[in-house]
Structure 1
Amino acid sequence: MSEIPIPGRRRSFSFAIIATMLLMVAASAPSPFYPQFAEQLGLLPVATTLIFAVYAFTMLAALLLTGVLSDVVGRRPVITVGSVLLAVSLVMFWQSGGLTMLLVARALQGVAAGLLLPALSAMVVDFAPPKHAEAASLWNTIAAMTGLGIGAITAAIVLDLTVNPAGAVFGSLAIVFLLIAALVWATPETSRSARLRVTGTTLRLAVPAYLRRALMVAVPAIIAGWATNGLFLALGSSVVKSEFGATTHAGQSIAIPIFAVSGIIASVLLHRRSARVVSVYGTSALGIGTALSLGALALHSLPAYLITVAVVGTGFGTAFMGVLKTLMPRVDPTERAAVMAVIYTVSYLAFGVPTIVAGLLVPIITLQGAMIGVGVVIVVLCLVATVKRVRIRDRSRTDPHGPVPHENVQAVPAKSNGVIR
């Protein structure tokens, strides 16, 4: 990376951040449409959550099969293919008129995201300023949270104001991702590893052995955060509509940008603190905010609910940033996409499963009851994550020459072939 001129590095860093943000815009833009789909197609709650969750599970499959691919063939080819597939899926979403086409479009979108997320996240790390190691984790978090908020609220406003909202939202995004597929070739290539580990046709996700314990400590925080994220995107609009009587799409979707903006603010304020401080704050705020939000639901108080959503948002943003701050500075450049793929594999498994469970529970115990049930699980996970992280001290240092082993973990060379099995 040292041979890349600073202007080229900065342009590529900005490109990777913007592309990551737009990917999350595409992920959250369908959320305000879900209540409309349910009314127009006569869908049960589980069908609505299935439309949402199929994205998570096809993305999970893509992460498992191709998450390491950009470490092998380079970032640019993977980003190009993923962007074209995403554009196709958005056109299908725009043109779909039934549940089957919606599921196919959402599934293809998940495959595209499974290609794009590890490659773009690794690209942010590749081009981050060398003297500011925290920049990559901060901007990966900001890009994701910004995209989630912009996608949801913009789509909601378009739904309220236009006669063809699907064309305006999904058609425009399709054009944007065709541009990304072309523009990525103006950035330098940063990764083309000679190591191609293949089992049959499956590229295996490699995690350095010295990183495994740190990753396992982070897993409860990842699950709690992304389960919360999934519930907001899949059911957030329905909760505000059914529990608080919001009538406009913008009003129904208001919790999502509040969730995202509060996460961004907290991430900016805390990004210079240690990974341990950021992680502990994140899981604590996520757990406390979730518990308070359940109380606000029980009281049917929209202002109280939105305040608790802001607390939850600060927790999600910083909990995920804490995970990235803990893990990514230690990873060799040739293994970055693989490690990001493992992180996102855990994330999107948590993103999808609780949402489907909640959808199945709604007809039995109501929407409020389902949110309470899943919320209690999230609070418990946050407690476990906070206790685990408090007990482990950071002993990392900024080291441009290689990864730093985690406390009590035997260090191995950075190019270890440890494999998640």
Structure 2
Amino acid sequence: MSQTLISPGISVANDDKQRLGPRTRFGLLASITVTFLAGSSVPTPLYPIYQDQWHFTAMGISFIFSIYAISVLAGLLVFGRLSDYVGRRSVLLWTTVLQLVAMYMLGVADGFTDLVLGRLIQGVSTGAAVPAVGAALIDLNHKRGAVVNALTPAIGSAVGALMGSVFAQALPYPTHTVFAALAFILVIQGVGLLLMRDIRAKIPGAARSLIPQFSIPVDVRGPMIIASSLFVAGWAVAGFFASMGPRLIEQLFALPASWAGGLVLAAFAGSGVAAIGAFVTRSMHTLAWIGALGLLIGMAMVLVSLITGSLTPFVFGVVISGAGFGAGFQGGIRLVLSKSRAEEVAGVLSVAFLCCYLGMGVPAMIAGYAVASGHGIFDTAIVFAILVMSLSFIAVYRMISGGSRV
């Protein structure tokens, strides 16, 4: 089969054999990330419903959430580099099938165990898919791909939180119908993947790539040190709002947990999307600064709200920290990709998302355990806000001490 190079170091099937145009392929790939991440945030407005129906504790909510984050980590570690060897399309096809299985299990869940199993399958498939689709976007267009890799997770999180809130408030059987809607979208995307030719040639070494590695190319280590603080801090905030946010808002401001919790997560992620769009022309170092300072200032305002019980600083804090999340994530992704060779992209993205999901899962699990152990949700949230501010300080320090050498 004739081959042609469309990106340095990437050998792909001749473009005239494609059944879908490059723009259609790019849009399809971007939409897959949005759908997978929407599926991860859809349960947030539903957690209070599950909790009322099945009477499990805050620790139970955190456990379900953390199972998802941990299974994403497992998927990243085991399957994160697989698409470099078997092709992007192959990985995305089987992960889409797994997502459909997860949507079915979550949609028909009638207890705690079903939710855990559904989130487990969902997490593994997401962990395998995210670096594959991210690398595929880079293969098609390196510059646009780097931006979209930062944009789509935030869009997906916002869309999922809004979907969950709307279904919870306006439609019957929300814990079933919302997953049916996502499954319908996944089927359409699966058909698109079947029509798309693989955009990367297969090479030997697939079995060896399944051995978990946490290796970073030498040239990427400096940028990754700076970016990791932004990844952990930003995604820790997202994780806290996604797992504990609904009950915190209900107890602090006497607002309905389902729709208010979903709207807060949507506002957080939505302001991240707006920041990525507003600052897309800024340098990656400027974005990293905006991200660190946005998270620092935003969480300081959330801290003020928690201490005073005032809603206004909480709203501003959510929006500002969300903007910091979006800018910091875009800056971090561009930092690490700027030093990555084409054949290293999937592996580097795997490490980047490992940092993200460690930040998302571990603090949320600890916070849930603290609340279940008798510590107040307000006290836990205050400690959490201080932790995120500390991580933001670390990011600022690393940029001051090493940013000029990156």
Say yes or no: TM over 0.5: yes
Q: Is the 8 A contact 1:70 1:192 kept in 2?
A: no
Aligned residues, how many? 392
Find runs of 4+ consecutive structure 1 residues off by over 6 angstroms.
Answer: none
Aligned to 1:37: 50
Note closer, same or farther for the CA distance 1:332–1:185 as it changes in structure 2 (3 Å cut): farther
Aligned to 1:318: 327
What amino acid sits opposite 1:337 in the alignment? Answer: A
Aligned to 2:89: 76
Find the aligned partners of 1:298 and 1:36 in 2 and give their Cα distance.
28
Return the structure number with greater helix share.
2
Aligned to 1:336: 345
1:16 aligns with 2:52: no
**Aligned 1:159-174 pairs, distance under 5 A:** 159-174=168-183
Find the aligned partners of 1:74 and 1:261 in 2 and give their Cα distance.
32
- SS class of match (1:202): coil
Find the aligned partners of 1:333 and 1:187 in 2 and give their Cα distance.
21
Aligned to 2:253: 244
Q: Note the residue ranges of structure 1 that are not aligned, 5 or more in a row.
A: 395-405, 408-421
1:27 aligns with 2:37: no
**Aligned 1:85-100 pairs, distance under 5 A:** 85-100=98-113
Q: Is the 8 A contact 1:25 1:148 kept in 2?
A: yes
Aligned to 1:374: 384
After superposition, the C-alpha distances for 1:336-370 in whole angstroms (9 at most, x for unaligned) are 11111111112111111000100011142211111
Q: How far is 1:174 from its partner?
A: 1.5
Find the aligned partners of 2:337 and 2:21 in 1 and give their Cα distance.
22
Q: How far is 1:307 from its partner?
A: 1.1
Note closer, same or farther for the CA distance 1:201–1:161 as it changes in structure 2 (3 Å cut): closer
Aligned to 2:117: 104
- SS class of match (2:376): helix
What amino acid sits opposite 1:120 in the alignment? Answer: V
Find the aligned partners of 2:257 and 2:368 in 1 and give their Cα distance.
23
Choose 91-100 or 292-301, whichever is displaced more: 292-301
Aligned to 2:140: 127
Aligned with 1:254 (options 248, 257, 263): 263
Aligned with 2:205 (options 169, 175, 196): 196
Aligned with 2:285 (options 258, 266, 276): 276
Q: Is the 8 A contact 2:38 2:158 kept in 1?
A: yes
TM-score (norm 2): 0.91
What amino acid sits opposite 1:346 in the alignment? Answer: C
Q: Is the 8 A contact 1:282 1:317 kept in 2?
A: yes
Find the aligned partners of 1:353 and 1:382 in 2 and give their Cα distance.
17
Q: How far is 1:49 from its partner?
A: 0.7
Aligned to 2:157: 148
What amino acid sits opposite 1:108 in the alignment? Answer: I
Aligned with 2:74 (options 53, 61, 65): 61
Q: How far is 1:59 from its partner?
A: 1.1
Aligned to 2:396: 386
Q: Is the 8 A contact 1:89 1:108 kept in 2?
A: yes
TM-score (norm 1): 0.88
Q: How far is 1:200 from its partner?
A: 9.8
Aligned to 1:118: 131
Q: Is the 8 A contact 1:146 1:260 kept in 2?
A: yes
After superposition, the C-alpha distances for 1:263-285 in whole angstroms (9 at most, x for unaligned) are 11111111111111100110111
Q: Note the residue ranges of structure 2 that are not aligned, 5 or more in a row.
A: 7-13
What amino acid sits opposite 1:54 in the alignment? Answer: I
Q: How far is 1:261 from its partner?
A: 1.7
Aligned with 1:225 (options 213, 230, 234): 234
- Backbone CA RMSD of aligned residues: 2.0
- SS class of match (1:365): coil
Find the aligned partners of 1:328 and 1:113 in 2 and give their Cα distance.
20
Q: Is the 8 A contact 2:33 2:152 kept in 1?
A: yes
Find the aligned partners of 1:259 and 1:213 in 2 and give their Cα distance.
29
Q: Is the 8 A contact 2:219 2:339 kept in 1?
A: no
- SS class of match (1:374): helix
Note closer, same or farther for the CA distance 1:327–1:46 as it changes in structure 2 (3 Å cut): same
Note closer, same or farther for the CA distance 1:10–1:291 as it changes in structure 2 (3 Å cut): same
Q: How far is 1:123 from its partner?
A: 1.6
1:290 aligns with 2:303: no
Aligned to 1:401: none
Find the aligned partners of 1:168 and 1:249 in 2 and give their Cα distance.
16
Find the aligned partners of 2:36 and 2:265 in 1 and give their Cα distance.
16
Q: How far is 1:251 from its partner?
A: 2.8
Note closer, same or farther for the CA distance 1:184–1:201 as it changes in structure 2 (3 Å cut): closer
Q: Is the 8 A contact 1:68 1:203 kept in 2?
A: no
Find the aligned partners of 2:213 and 2:307 in 1 and give their Cα distance.
45
